[in-house]
Amino acid sequence: MTHSIQVKDLSLNFGSVSVLKNMNIDVAEGEFIVLLGPSGCGKSTLLNCLAGLLDITDGEIWIKGKNVTWAEPSDRGIGMVFQSYALYPQMTVRGNLSFGLKNAKMPKEEIDKRIARAAGILQIEPLLDRKPAALSGGQRQRVAIGRALVRDVDVFLFDEPLSNLDAKLRSELRVEIKRLHSRLNNTMVYVTHDQIEALTLADRIAVMRSGIIQQLAAPQEIYNRPSNLFVAGFIGSPSMNFLHGATIDGGAAFQFASTKINLAGYEGGAILDRPKAILGLRPEHLHIQDHSEPGLTIPAVVEIDEPMGADSLVWLEAEGGLKMSVRVPVERRMAAGTPVHLKVDISKASIFDTASEQRV
Amino acid sequence: MADVAIHSATVVRPRGAKPKTRFSGGNIMLYGTLFVVSVYYLLPLWVMVMTSLKGMPEIRMGNIFAPPVEITFQPWVKAWSEACTGLNCDGLSRGFWNSVMITVPSVIISIIVASVNGYALVNWRFKGSEVFFTILIFGSFIPYQIMLYPIVILLREMHIYGTLYGLILVHTIFGMPILTLLFRNYFSSLPEELFKAARVDGAGFWRIYFQIMVPMSLPIFVVALILQITGIWNDFLFGVVFTKPEIYPMTVQLNNIVNSVQGVKEYNVNMAATLLTGLVPLIIYFVSGKLFVRGIAAGAVKG
């Protein structure tokens, strides 16, 4: 596997504030990496470092086997797409696309050829002689992608490219970016705070929090086996149900209030006896039934039932006032106040150590 | 929603636009105040224009508000090309061309330098750029009187004291704080991502400045132009201190014409000379009034 981007021990400080801490990422050629995290976690900052728009404090950045740590943005073999499109307002679309190529002193025929190709791929040929002000949001973002495309680079950097678009356009362009990736097979690094974008687009997701990568793995892995409590809570909507309790019997069971849950079939490491532990259960990995099964179910009372079209979300209250959510088929309506039992699918559950917040 | 609320209400309310009372107390106050203020400002102008069109015998009759019985443009001609200051008797025209030669290069150089300053301060932050900016702004708070004599010495050492170059240099430097602030604030209101995109596109310092920043900053350039032209044209203090009689700017020459003590006081010539001197800033304001307000608003809001 050849590396397209390698980030080695990268750190960035703004004065005394440490923004990125000792990062290491290897991106394979043609891979689609999504940097995901809440606002202020450093994901856009990391992207700006890759682009060369911010000087890093420590570490190295390699792109295509070249050390580009101190190279100019234009010499790194990257193209970048911004959230606000960042189209030059006084130039036509053609001018926007050709600006970088003219700076590189490329001959005119080659420029025209590249613009024609990019315009063809993105279907923006009719727009070439318009100014950005005369374009819609989706068209502008297409042109912005085109500007990266004409540079004919190996690495595309996307900085929240869809955040300024409305929901419908966002899902359309999301598919288009995915199609573009499968067609061009470039390496893409994509920053977003939208987990749907992350889960749908990425080959691998890097979940970040306060300048540290919490987990770098394939979307399914991140979803099913979050490496710590933060990732578990951040990914998934509604978020995972967390039961605070203890593991007992040498790790064979989980004690939550008066309920004991059998942990046989848990996929993970050695559970051991932990006086304080958290059992994480996703809403779709719980099943509502009316009878209790010792060691397999949690008693709860229905509070509200939220039909959401495709499925329905039931909010319940378990022992000790704990609020839980369960995803059920939309046909199944639940009356408030109904006592039920939630069956746990332990093979899809996650157990976290309360002190270290790490998954067991 | 609003319609439904109106129809369902049991009380019948009047419909249509609210009738206006033309002679309400508020309106009388408002227009009355505006009228008084306009008269206050326009009356001197009226007196000046009327006096400048009268001959001396008519002026001596003392009705300063009365329009001229016999209109004469002789005072204007005299003010422009014949009035004497010291040994020179070629009127204000000399001062006018001096002012043009001072204003044009000062305005152009100061705007170019200040706009590049502002651009660098916003987009190419260097170590200590904030300190640099603070010092620059602080400079504008020091009263001119304190700096006059040191500048005289500096200009003398540079061998440009008493020349147009010296005055141009002084005007360029004194325009720097306010213009840099103006441009800095304007450039920082432009999206930063545009600058980043241009850098990814391989544009350098000057290419980004000329091809990206300047084309987007026309309003602020107009504002700077107006500020500088009017400011430098109206300057009296620097003109009188740093130049000598042959190259006095128009304002200084006007003062010398009006304040000359020999002979009869020719009020009509003085009024014509004053109007001539004020004409340039006046035209600038009239031509660019709207742009001026827009630019000030754009440049001043963000600190």
Residues of B in contact with A97 (CB under 8 A): none
A36-92 pLDDT, tens digit each: 999 889 999 999 999 999 989 999 999 988 899 999 998 898 999 999 989 999 999
Cβ contact A319:A256 at 8 Å: yes
Q: Which residue of B has its CA nearest to A159?
A: B193
Domains in chain B (CATH in brackets) are: 14-72 (no CATH), 92-300 (1.10.3720.10)
Question: Does A103 sit within 8 Å of B203, measured CB to CB?
Answer: yes
Show residues of chain B in contact with A104, CB under 8 Å. 202
Are A53 and B199 within 8 A, CB to CB?
yes
Across the interface, whether the CB atoms of B201 and A89 are under 8 A apart is answered: no
The pLDDT assigned to B11 comes to 63
Mind telling me how many Å the CA of A197 is from chain B's nearest CA? 22
> Which residue(s) pair with A311 in the sheet?
A329
| Interface with B, mutate which of A63, A81, A84 (most B CBs under 10 A) | A84
Task: Report the candidate in A328, A261, A245 with the shortest Cα–Cα distance to residue A297.
Answer: A261
Inter-chain contact A99–B196, Cβ cutoff 8 Å? no
Q: pLDDT confidence of A272, banded at 50, 70, 90?
A: confident
- ipTM for the whole complex: 0.85
Contact A103 B193 (CB under 8 A): no
Residue A3 φ/ψ, nearest 5 degrees: -90, 135
Interface of A with B (CB under 8 A): 48, 51-53, 72-75, 78-80, 82-90, 99-100, 103-104, 147, 151, 159
Q: What is the largest CA-CA distance in chain A?
A: 77
Say yes or no for a CB contact (<8 Å) between B196 and A53. yes
Determine, for residues B200 and A53 on separate chains, whether the beta-carbon distance falls below 8 Å.
yes
**Nearest residue, CB atoms, A86 vs list B193, B211, B216:** B193
The neighbouring-strand residues paired with A187 are A155
The pLDDT-based confidence of B5 (bands split at 50, 70, 90) is very low
- Go through A150-181 and write b for each residue having 16 or more CB atoms within 10 A of its CB, e for each that does not: bbebbbbbbbbbbeebeeebbeebbebbbebb
pLDDT, tens digit, 9 for 90 and up, residues A209-237 = 999 999 999 999 999 999 999 999 999 88
What's the sign of the alpha-carbon dihedral B114, B120, B125, B126?
negative
CB contact under 8 Å between A79 and B200, yes or no, is yes
pLDDT digits 0-9 by tens, A114-164:
999 999 999 899 999 999 999 998 899 999 999 999 988 889 999 999 988
Ranking A217-231, A254-268, B44-58, B254-268 by mean pLDDT, the lowest is B254-268
- Would you call A82 and B196 a contact, using CB atoms and an 8 Å cutoff? yes
In angstroms, what separates the C-alpha of B291 from chain A's closest C-alpha? 19
* pLDDT band, residue A191 (cuts 50/70/90): very high
Does the beta-carbon distance from A73 to B202 stay under 8 Å? yes
Name the more confident of A98 and B12: A98
Cβ distance of B193 and A90 shorter than 8 Å: no
For B201, the closest of A53, A84, A99 (CB atoms) is: A99
Please indicate whether, in this complex, the C-beta atoms of B196 and A104 are within 8 angstroms of each other.
no
pLDDT above 90 covers a percentage of chain A that reads 61
pLDDT at B297: 62
Span A3-234 CATH architecture: 3-Layer(aba) Sandwich (3.40)
Q: What pairs with residue A312 in β-bridges?
A: A307, A328
Chain B residues contacting A, CB < 8 Å?
Answer: 191, 193-194, 196-203, 207, 211-212, 215-216
* A83, A88, A104: residue with CB nearest B202: A104
Contacts of A75 in chain B (CB under 8 A): 202
Q: Is-contact A84 B191, C-beta < 8 A?
A: yes
Q: Which positions in chain B touch A86 (Cβ < 8 Å)? A: 191, 193-194, 196-197
Give the whole-angstrom CA distance, residue B160 versus residue B168: 10
Phi, psi at residue A20, to the nearest 5°? Answer: -125, 135
Lowest mean pLDDT among A180-194, A223-237, B186-200, B280-294: B280-294
| Of residues A75, A90, A147, nearest to B216 (C-beta) | A90
Taking an 8 Å cut-off on Cβ atoms, the answer to whether B203 and A72 are in contact is no
Mean pLDDT within B260-275: 85
Q: Is the pLDDT of residue A187 over 50?
A: yes
Q: In this predicted model, what pLDDT tens digit does every residue of B131-170 receive, in sequence order?
A: 998 988 887 788 888 889 999 999 999 999 989 999 999 9
Residues A281-326 have pLDDT tens digits of 999 999 999 888 888 899 999 999 898 888 899 999 998 888 999 9
Peptide bond into B177 cis (omega under 30): no
User: Which residue from B194, B211, B216 is facing A86, i.e. has the nearest CB?
Assistant: B194
Structural fold of domain A241-353: OB fold (Dihydrolipoamide Acetyltransferase, E2P) (2.40.50)
pLDDT digits (tens, 9 = 90+) for B79-119: 898 887 777 778 888 899 999 999 999 999 999 999 999 99
Domain ranges in chain A?
A: 3-234, 241-353
Strands of A155-159's sheet in order across: A78-81, A155-159, A187-192, A32-36, A204-209, A212-217
Over pLDDT 90: what percentage of chain B?
Answer: 43
Confidence at residue A15, expressed as pLDDT on a 0 to 100 scale: 84
Burial class (CB in 10 A: 0-12, 13-18, 19+), B9: exposed
Write the CA distances from A294 to A179, A299, A300, integer angstroms. 49, 10, 14
Whether the CB-CB separation of A146 and A129 falls below 8 Å is answered with no
CB-CB under 8 Å, B215 with A90: yes
